[in-house]
Amino acid sequence: MIKINEMITCKICSGYLIDATTIVECLHTFCKSCIVKHLNTDDNNTCPQCDEVIHQSHPMNYIVFDRTMQDIVYKLVPNLEADEYKRERDFYKDKGVPCPKDVEVEEKEEREEREKESEAKGDTGDPEQDENNTDFHRFDDQVNLVLEPSSDCPLKQIKRKYIRCSSLATITLLKKFIALKILGSTNQYREIDVLCDGEYIPKDHTLKFVYITRWRTKSAPLKLIYHPKLELEKEKIVKAADKKANKKAQAPQWKLQPKLNYDDDDDES
């Protein structure tokens, strides 16, 4: 049992793993609260067990919840899951806020009831067709942002510019939201570009990636600017053509002069 305990205990707090979280680089596992606190203390970026560098600048992005390990711990240690759940509920009760796990259970029960009602009515149950069967990503990490038009933008200001949404939302989804609010339809979302701190943001980037790479050192909310589509490629082509034309006009024209007399070569030899 001693050998097993070494495998299912956290090397930071020496207790059984709770919300087991594994480092991607070295595969060492710790309690989530322990490893997060370690990485947030003095900007640590190394594994507390082997000193392996997790990541130079964003170590928090390279730790993941290890559900398999956590299930093993709960199966091997009697009553651990129930005791931890009780401690968590008591903690949130003292704070006067509902326990997130209780809220999740209630949401799950309500969702199952809606699904049963939808089946009875003959609905498809497809989240894209039946919005009652989706949780709107409320359990994802959230990001606060503000949407504003650029100073020289002909597009109008969104009525509610402050938004809180899933950090997994992409720029494409955000462009569709902007198009729906200011143009009345998502069909023209391709005619809108989104910028952050003066830099164009590609359509496939998530808000989490944008926040980490461009707004991590700044205060919330994440500020994004929308603007009619920038003709970047067209401008590049025009500038390249103008540059080529100017270079051609300035280049000296070299011409070979015909040799008039070849007898001189024979005389010199």
Stretches where the chain sits below pLDDT 50 are 1, 125, 127-128, 130-131, 133, 232-234, 237-238, 269
Q: Residue count of the chain, please give it.
A: 269
Domain that holds residue 102: 98-133
In terms of domains, do 68 and 147 share one? no
For residue 228, being part of any structural domain is answered with yes
User: In this predicted structure, what is the pLDDT of residue 23?
Assistant: 93
Of the candidates 212, 214, 194, the residue with the CA atom closest to the CA atom of residue 204 = 194
Least Cα distance to 205 among 162, 232, 171 occurs for: 171
pTM of the model: 0.42
Model pLDDT, residue 247: 59
**Domain assignment of residue 165, yes or no:** yes
53: in domain: yes
> DSSP 3-state assignment of 120?
helix
Q: At what angle do helices 80-95 and 67-76 cross, to 10 degrees?
A: 110
Q: What is the pLDDT of residue 155?
A: 84
Q: Is 150 among the domain residues?
A: yes
171 lies in some domain:
yes
Q: Return the pLDDT at 72.
A: 92
Question: Is 242 domain-assigned?
Answer: no
For position 223, what pLDDT does the model report?
92
Contacts of 77 (CB under 8 A, 6+ apart): 8, 16
CATH of the domain at 182: 3.10.20.90
> Residue 238's pLDDT is what?
47
- Please check whether residue 239 lies inside any domain of the structure: no
Asked if residue 117 and residue 182 are part of one domain, the reply reads no
Give a yes or no: residue 269 inside a domain. Answer: no
**pLDDT for res 71:** 92
Write down the pLDDT at residue 150.
87
Cis-peptide into 221, omega within 30 deg = yes
- Does residue 181 sit in the same domain as residue 118? no
What local confidence, expressed as pLDDT, does residue 27 receive?
Answer: 92
- Asked if 44 and 102 sit in the same domain, the reply is no
Q: CA–CA separation, 216 vs 14, rounded Å?
A: 32
pLDDT of residue 174: 92
The reply to whether 129 and 151 lie within a common domain is no
Task: Give the chain's domain count.
Answer: 3
